[in-house]
Amino acid sequence: MMTPAPPSHRSHAYWLLDPDPKSELQARLGSLYRQWLILRRNPLAAMGLTVLGLLVALAILAPLIAGYSPIEQDFTARLAPPSVHHFFGTDEFGRDIFSRVIYGTRITLVIVLVVVAIAGPLGLIVGCAAGYFGGLIDTVMMRITDIFLAFPRLVLALALVTALGPGIINAVLAIALTGWPPYARVARSEALVIRNTDYIKAARLSGCSHARIVLGHILPICLTSTIVRVALDMSGIILIAAGLGFLGLGAQPPSPEWGAMVASGRQFAFQQWWVSAMPGLAIFVVSLGFNLLGDGLRDALDPRRR
């Protein structure tokens, strides 16, 4: 009697890719696994994911990687060029720019995460509610959305920060309050299609409340498109935060915020170019990484593109 062959090391992958899933959990895990395969096969998306991973690692390991304090001044090393002692040189106060760029990743990540945590759910709920209810509610919500979209986002953020006062908290609130309208538009377009489907009608007939239908049935379906839109918008969030910092309305000195670091190096742009070029390069690399990751997520999560 033949003994059964040992299970292959790829048996889990076959189980996830089974075209006839035996349970809802298997179906969901299989869908996530297929999306991960699409994302992994995209070299640009993998590059963006690598940049994001490095950003998180630098933020966590900043005390171990940075060789100097990001705020401690040393006027004996003022405006020193890049060298083995100071990889990115020093600024006008003798602070190590490499250490400040490393610690600045923490501020950048906090800004992105807080803005996404506020603007994403807000836009998703507004869009789903407007698309589901329609009528007067849809008209009022979308006209409010149009008012926000009528102004350039940076200009509107500048106005809000000016009214609230300079500071990292007010800058994050301003970016979040001006960032939700695109997410609301995306969610509304999905909800307009979903609200007339058979299973939504069945949910109404079974006695489900409007809140339960919106939060439990429509919102999860609109979530995928919103995630893609948020991923594509992260680079814009970084640029707006850097712009506010450049104008002195974001994180205040001596915080190692990249936009403020670029602003402090304006007067040395031609002689001591590294003062503003290094944080500017960090902004460029991280923004590019988020753009590449957003494109990859769009390919992986959008069934129409697949």
pLDDT digit string, tens, across residues 41-99: 777 778 888 888 899 999 999 999 988 999 999 888 888 999 998 999 999 999 999 99
> Domain for residue 200, yes or no?
yes
Length of the chain as a residue count = 306
**Cα separation, 151 vs 111, whole angstroms:** 22
DSSP 96: B
Distances (CA, A) of 31 to 28, 51, 283: 5, 25, 34
Domain carrying residue 265:
50-61+83-301
> Domain for residue 111, yes or no?
yes
> Domain for residue 282, yes or no?
yes
Rounded to 5°, angle at Cα 163 from 161 and 165: 60
- Does this model's pTM top 0.85? no
How confident is the model over 240-275, as pLDDT tens digits? 999 999 988 888 888 899 999 999 888 888 888 999
How confident is the model over 148-200, as pLDDT tens digits? 888 888 888 888 898 888 888 999 999 998 889 999 999 998 888 888 888 88
Residue 90's beta-bridge partner residues?
96
How confident is the model over 88-133, as pLDDT tens digits? 999 999 999 999 999 999 999 999 999 999 999 999 999 999 998 8
Domain count, the chain: 1
Please give the pLDDT value at position 14. 56
> Domain for residue 180, yes or no?
yes
> Domain for residue 32, yes or no?
no
Asked if the peptide bond before residue 254 counts as cis, ω within 30 degrees of 0, the response is yes
Look up the CATH number of the domain holding residue 195. 1.10.3720.10
> Domain for residue 70, yes or no?
no
Backbone angles phi, psi at 94, to 5 degrees: 80, 10
> Domain for residue 21, yes or no?
no
How sure is the predictor about 18, in pLDDT bands with cuts at 50, 70 and 90? low
